[in-house]
Chain A
Amino acid sequence: MPEPLIGARLERFALPNGLRVVLAPDPAVPVAAIAVLYDVGIRSEPPGRTGFAHLFEHLMFQGSAKVPKLAHARYVQSSGGSFNGSTHLDYTVYHETLPGTALERGLFLEADRMRGPRITEENLRNQVDVVAEEINTNVANRAYGGFPWLHLPPLLFDSFANTHDGYGSQVDLESATVAEAEAFFERYYAPANAVLCVAGGIDVGETVELVARHFGDVPARAVPVRPDFAEPPLTGPRRGESRDRLAPLPAFAAGWRVPDPIGELDPYLAHHLLADLLAGGEPARLVRRLVADENLVTDVSAGLGLMGDALAVRDPGAFVVSGFLPPGGDVDKVVRVVDEELARIAADGLDDDELTRLRTMAGSRLLRELDPLAGRAKLLGVFEQQRGDAGLLAELATRYASITADEIAAAAAAVCGRHRALAEILPGRT
């Protein structure tokens, strides 16, 4: 395995206002990425306000004290940079990738909106419209839109926090008010509830100074205690189906609970390798049986997490196997095969070559994720926020490489022992 590429040179500190800072210098590139992560996401939305965390993310681009509406994009892009934001189950992240010439400008922009966005009735209504079209583009007007991340949680979990639609209902979005947005900012966007990460071609000493200059005077305020979103295990299997009038083929997603991604890291990573053992390429167990031998699905995948956040989610997480069936395919048969293969792994384990390949692929996948500076800054920030130490990311390749065949078999046995939630998409009109 390659040596950890980051970590030794990480600089971690906190400002007096509580903002945690991670610097990850990489002198090889004349580019820097800035990521600011706030410890609030879809799971923190109150009942009646589905989609609010994401709507609020949009409002953070509508201007702040010294930055008029539309100017954030203009400043970043006229510096030769790119930017975006995204809302996840447990965090909301804002990021810029900039030529090194614009590092201070990027820090200024993030600090200005950390002091407070300019939220007006007009901008709120405008962004409610924009979000409605975002949902139409990604969900309503697309075959398999939102599948399975909108379909599986209501079956796999029970609480409002874990089950509700993170894009939000139209009613909830349209009734959102400026006062609620201001209260949301006040509660969740305190500097001590955030992590700032800067990665790339930076000078550490100078960046420390710039960070202090721009973020140092953001007023400190109290941070809410994060609720525990864990739930008791399912008491029986669950199953639900929905019809998708645009979908040409049946689809399924089976989900199971997993160990706490934070508190039980090794068992959680063993589930990650288990997912690859089932569906990572031609030699994988389910690809062999379901696609090649028995022709029960046209494609199968397996992974951790509901939003592509395998390494960026807190408890409760999910283990998901999903796929598309040929017309008229039999979901029950597919699920039976999945159960059989899990049981086989639990009983017989895996061979040395399988283990070597799983470890190696997990390591190189992690490297690929870390090559883009924005991806690196985000993941370091998530580790700092959720695990209390960005440096743990550097150990991750080693952790994957030390997961044993027994641990993967134990993960398979654990999945077999848990109840399954099964979401199906039925194609065509009713």
Chain B
Amino acid sequence: MTVELSGTDIPALRPRRELSLPESAETTLPNGLTVIAVRRHSVPLVELRLRIPLVEVDPAGAALLAESLCTATASTSAVELTKRIQRMGGRLTAVVDADRLLVVGSALAAHLGDLLGILGEVLTGACYPEAEVAQRAGRLAGMLRIATTQPAHRALEALNRRLYGKHVYGRPSPSPDEVLSVTSEDLRALHADRVRATSACLVLVGDIDPEPALRAAGNALSGVDGGEVPRRHRPLPGDRATEAIEVLDAPGAVQSSVRLALPCAGFDAPDLAAADLANIVFGGVFSSRLASNIREHKGYTYSAKSTLVFPQAGAAIAVTADVATAVTAPAVLEIRYELGRMACTSVTTAEVDRAREYLLGVQRLGMATQSGLANLVSELAAHGLRLDWLAVHSDRLAEAGVAEVNEAAARYLAPAQAVIVVVGDAARVTSRLATLMPVV
């Protein structure tokens, strides 16, 4: 199945220049807020990310807080606030997950100071008026009603439950009714308690001078309360529900959403580079073993991919494939086969070389847009790292050979480690899946 390239006509790659990191500056304000400013002047815009740890919190309250955060303050109505942001060609929204509240903003770079000013007003003065909150709750409930019918969403929730058990990562999204029962008072209390500067990190990326940008952030945000050091996650449970395939019924579905997940090395692990390479060889790219097998040879699916994800409490590899109902069990068989082949037979030198070239290249691609760079800097900071970590990771990628990748594959890609979920037409898929593994 493997196609080796003849190389006779293919233009060679030019030698790679050393990774050059963009100009940046950093400070920590007296209230505990870390600010990182990075220059990337492709277009005259600035991107803003503010990450505030938000762990062990009521999910309905957190979701509605994110939806309502950037609306009204004591001095400004939601409409006025949005008008001000629009005059800067900007936007300011917030999203939340089990780790953090993330404020995402952007504006014409000339308006950086104004954008930071509004962020400061929102953080210190968001007042969650009842009418606003009710309207936002209605919108969020509608979005949740739609999301919870989507097979991909159902599959993800079940996968989290099997992977994380009773840990907060295993919780489902809040229900529409839970969201509708959150009050303005709940949000004000949650905001006062948890929307604090200590351990939060603001990232600014764009057509800006880093040092003056830090000063502007200091002017605008020094008034935000520091608060206590935020709570940390409980450790992830050691055991997972790997003994059976969980089938969630979607009567009449033309397709099954197949999902697998395995725990993996995190940013702090010395074998992350090797795990990263193993994942690319297995399913991380279109030219991987997984996509070659179940898409390009068997035609079972349009999508087949594995991805490393890095939630705060522990990393994982997630495998996704939406496959035709009739080939659901064969697809699960092939995915487990490819995992098993990674775990107990050797990868080739050529595969590792290609994976390495890919990962070194996409580092550069990831830094080539303002929003991509802002997301990257913000995610690294969440794990206590800075952009210079990329150079360390590059060196590790360069050093990892077949032996290290085999070792990482055996540790992180063994099919026995995987939790498996299928959302599909149970009447049509269950009996064949049961020939592979127990089904619950």
Contacts and interface: CB of A to CB of B under 8 A. Distances in A.
Interface of A: 2, 5, 26, 28-31, 66, 68-71, 73-83, 97-102, 104-105, 107-108, 125-134, 136-137, 140-144, 200, 245-249, 280-283, 288, 291-292, 295, 298-299, 324, 326, 353, 356-357, 360-361, 363-365, 367-368, 370-373
Contacts of A245: 252
B269 interface: no
B324 A105 contact: no
Interface string B102-138: 0000111000000000000000000000010001001
20 contacts: A29-B368, A66-B10, A69-B3, A73-B286, A73-B287, A78-B287, A79-B361, A101-B361, A102-B361, A128-B299, A130-B296, A133-B322, A136-B302, A137-B302, A143-B149, A299-B139, A299-B142, A364-B89, A364-B107, A372-B372
A99 B364 CA distance: 7
B296 A69 contact: yes
B151 A371 contact: no
Interface in B224-257: 252-255, 257
A367 B71 CA distance: 25
A133 B324 contact: yes
A281 B10 contact: no
Contacts of B353: 78
B328 to A, nearest CB: 12
Contact of A105 (B11, B16, B87, B297): B11
B184 to A, nearest CB: 16
B268 interface: no
A134 B295 CA distance: 11
B10 A80 contact: no
Interface string B360-395: 111111001111100000000000000000000000
Contact of A249 (B79, B146, B354): B146
A26 B83 contact: no
A246 B138 contact: no
A233 to B, nearest CB: 34
A363 B89 contact: yes
Contact of A108 (B10, B141, B148, B322): B10
B361 A137 contact: no
Contacts of A364: 45, 89-90, 106-108
Contacts of B79: 282-283, 288
Contact of B108 (A2, A79, A128): A2
A79 B358 CA distance: 6
A379 to B, nearest CB: 13
Given A141-B322, A356-B87, A78 B15 contact: no
B290 interface: no
B10 A75 contact: yes
B93 to A, nearest CB: 10
Given A105-B10, A361-B89, A126 B83 contact: no
Contacts of A28: 40-42
Instruction: Give the 5 A-B CB pairs with smallest separation, nearest first.
Output: A80-B361, A129-B299, A364-B89, A298-B142, A78-B354
Given A80-B365, A101-B16, A144-B146, 15 more contacts: A28-B42, A69-B3, A74-B354, A75-B10, A80-B359, A80-B360, A98-B361, A99-B16, A105-B12, A248-B146, A281-B91, A282-B78, A283-B86, A364-B90, A372-B372
Contacts of A30: 17, 20, 364, 368
Contacts of A282: 71, 78-79, 81-82
A129 B371 CA distance: 36
Contact of B142 (A66, A68, A324, A353): A324
Contacts of A82: 362, 365
A246 B287 CA distance: 33
A80 B214 CA distance: 33
B126 to A, nearest CB: 14
Contacts of A136: 254-255, 302, 322, 324
Contacts of A298: 138-139, 141-143
Contact of B365 (A73, A97, A140, A356): A97
A281 B85 CA distance: 10
Interface centre among A70, A77, A82, A126 (most CB of B within 10 A): A77
Nearest to A323: B142
B229 to A, nearest CB: 35
Contacts, number: 235
A141 B151 contact: yes
Given A31-B365, A364-B108, A248 B145 contact: yes
Contact of B299 (A76, A130, A353): A130
Given A78-B287, A141-B151, A281 B45 contact: no
Contact of B88 (A71, A248, A360): A360
B417 interface: no
B151 to A, nearest CB: 6
Given A130-B299, A133-B301, A372-B369, A100 B14 contact: yes
Interface in B337-361: 353-355, 357-361
Contacts of B15: 101
Contacts of A127: 299
Contact of A78 (B135, B141, B357, B368): B357
B285 interface: yes
Nearest to A82: B365
A246 B299 contact: no
B254 A142 contact: no
A312 to B, nearest CB: 19
A281 B82 contact: yes
Contacts of A66: 9-10
A80 B139 contact: no
B43 interface: yes
Contacts of A130: 295-296, 299, 301-302
A70 to B, nearest CB: 5
A371 B299 CA distance: 35
B63 to A, nearest CB: 15
Interface string B15-45: 1110010000000000000000000111111
Contacts of A248: 145-146, 148-149
B150 interface: yes
A77 B82 contact: no
B82 A283 contact: yes
A283 B5 contact: no
Contacts of A363: 89, 108
A323 B43 CA distance: 32
A295 B131 CA distance: 11
B13 interface: yes
Contacts of B371: 368, 371
